[in-house]
Amino acid sequence: MSDSASGIWSLNSQDGSIFPGGRETVKWEIVARTMGLMPATIIAGRLHAEGIRVRTWQEGAGRAIGLMVGALGTGYVAVPEELVDQALLILKSSDYLDEFDEDEEE
């Protein structure tokens, strides 16, 4: 994954159960791109089941008009920077990445 494609995002987390102080800057890195939000949500569920914090999203305009292809239809899965290797290992072992990466290779 290239640096420009990895997209590190910095978000403030306010979950007191995870961060006793209540706020901590978390750098999120994209580990998967999918066609639409539903497959991204499925991948996120797999990672969450393994105890990895995960975020999913799709561009608002694409979601509003129901796009599932192109830049506006892309679903994103991001995990904290320090958990990227673990997340990719889980996704590769469960064939999630192979299934969705075939479209990007063409």
Residue range 2-38, pLDDT digits in tens: 444 445 444 554 544 555 566 778 899 999 998 888 8
Query: Given this structure, which CATH class describes domain 32-105?
Result: alpha beta
In terms of Cβ atoms closer than 10 Å to its own Cβ (0-12, 13-18, 19+), residue 92 is exposed
* Three-state secondary-structure class, residue 15: coil
Return the residue matching tokens 């569920």.
Answer: 45
Show me where the domains of the chain are located. 32-105
Q: How confident is the model at residue 73 (pLDDT cuts 50, 70, 90)?
A: confident
Question: Is the pTM for the entire model greater than 0.85?
Answer: no
